[in-house]
């Protein structure tokens, strides 16, 4: 995978270099699958596991980039967004002349599905309150409130790795996904322990990763949000539902210009990533 600068107002665009550079814009209308990851599809061409890179772009304030990839799934790296954040830091960001527009929430929206819930409310900044509840002794009930900032994202959210249970990881491998999956890039739990030798990066790493995923998924709206997202036992599917509701109910939000000191941003030179080849 290679990330390249893009002109102002391009947005994030994936290009399958193995398919003559076929382009798939990172937009909600191209969401195809939202089970264990968020996949995009256009005219039958798929890009899978997009949420970690999209989250890094959102967390670092990157509006425009061209992502060239020669396969259907993005490299998992260490299972978090941190390698992408570090690479963006290394190559630098380029401020562009176009002004950034934010989607400011002016009416609350709530989606409920049994014990699962996600809502967004008016607020003065972008904020996420996320709660999870898993019947596992090392997870249980966790909740975290995150007020977005570039530095806060880099230190508190981006390092949180994706996680799964041993049986689920084996199923994903059989389905052809997470081909580079290993204990180096997924927090794997069996019945009563974390199998990774180094343990967890945060006691609530599981909840932090849910915020990471959410930020990537809702970036598919196409504009950074000003609002307070509250999620309980949600996941990729409910994140996508929230974006779909926002697109359908445009009277619940309005586009507002950014301050003068907040131009659109693209990465500077290109940067490349190679997938992990390890396997469970």
Q: In what order do the strands lie in the sheet with 65-69?
A: 22-25, 12-16, 65-69, 2-4, 271-272
236 among known catalytic residues: yes
- CB–CB of 27/220 below 8 Å? yes
Among 277, 270, 273, 279, smallest CA distance to 3 is for: 270
Strands 31-33 and 187-189: unpaired
Alpha carbon distance 32, 83 (integer Å): 26
Say which residues have a Cβ less than 8 Å from residue 64's Cβ, sequence separation at least 6: 5, 6, 7, 8, 9, 10, 11, 12, 96, 264, 265, 266
Residue given tokens 């107002």 in the structure block: 9
- CB–CB of 193/238 below 8 Å? no
Q: Which of 30, 52, 236, 239 is the catalytic position?
A: 236
Which of left, alpha, beta for 262 (phi over 0: left; psi -120 to 50: alpha)? beta
Say which residues have a Cβ less than 8 Å from residue 250's Cβ, sequence separation at least 6: none
DSSP codes joined into one string, 98-121: EEPEEEEE-S-EEEEETTEEEEEE
Sign of CA dihedral 178, 183, 187, 190: positive
In this structure, the number of other CB atoms found within 10 A of the CB of residue 53 comes to 26
| Residues involved in catalysis | 236
């Amino acid at each position: 995978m290679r990330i390249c600068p893009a002109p102002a107002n391009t947005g994030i665009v994936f290009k399958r270099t193995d398919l003559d550079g076929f382009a798939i814009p990172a937009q909600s209308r191209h969401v195809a699958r939202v089970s264990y990851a968020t996949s995009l599809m256009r005219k039958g061409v798929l890009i899978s596991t997009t949420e970690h890179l999209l989250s890094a772009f959102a967390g670092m304030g990157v509006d425009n980039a061209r992502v060239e990839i020669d396969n259907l799934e993005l490299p998992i790296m260490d299972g978090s967004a941190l390698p992408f954040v570090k690479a963006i830091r290394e190559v630098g960001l380029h401020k562009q002349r176009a002004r950034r527009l934010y989607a400011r929430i002016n009416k609350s929206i709530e989606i409920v599905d049994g014990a699962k819930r996600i809502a967004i409310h008016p607020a003065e900044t972008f904020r996420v309150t996320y709660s999870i509840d898993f019947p596992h002794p090392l997870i249980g009930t966790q909740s975290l409130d995150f007020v977005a900032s570039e530095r806060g994202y880099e230190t508190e959210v981006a390092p949180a790795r994706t996680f799964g249970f041993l049986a689920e990881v084996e199923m994903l491998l059989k389905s052809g996904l997470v081909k580079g999956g290993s204990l180096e890039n997924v927090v794997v739990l069996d019945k009563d322990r974390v199998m990774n030798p180094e343990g967890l990066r945060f006691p609530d790493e599981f909840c932090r990763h849910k915020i990471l995923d959410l930020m990537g998924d809702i970036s598919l709206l196409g504009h950074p949000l000003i609002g307070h997202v509250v999620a309980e036992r949600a996941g990729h599917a409910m994140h996508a539902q929230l974006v779909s509701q926002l697109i359908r109910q445009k009277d619940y939000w309005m586009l507002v210009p950014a301050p003068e000191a907040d131009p659109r941003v693209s990465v500077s030179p290109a940067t490349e990533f190679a997938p992990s080849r390890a396997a469970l």
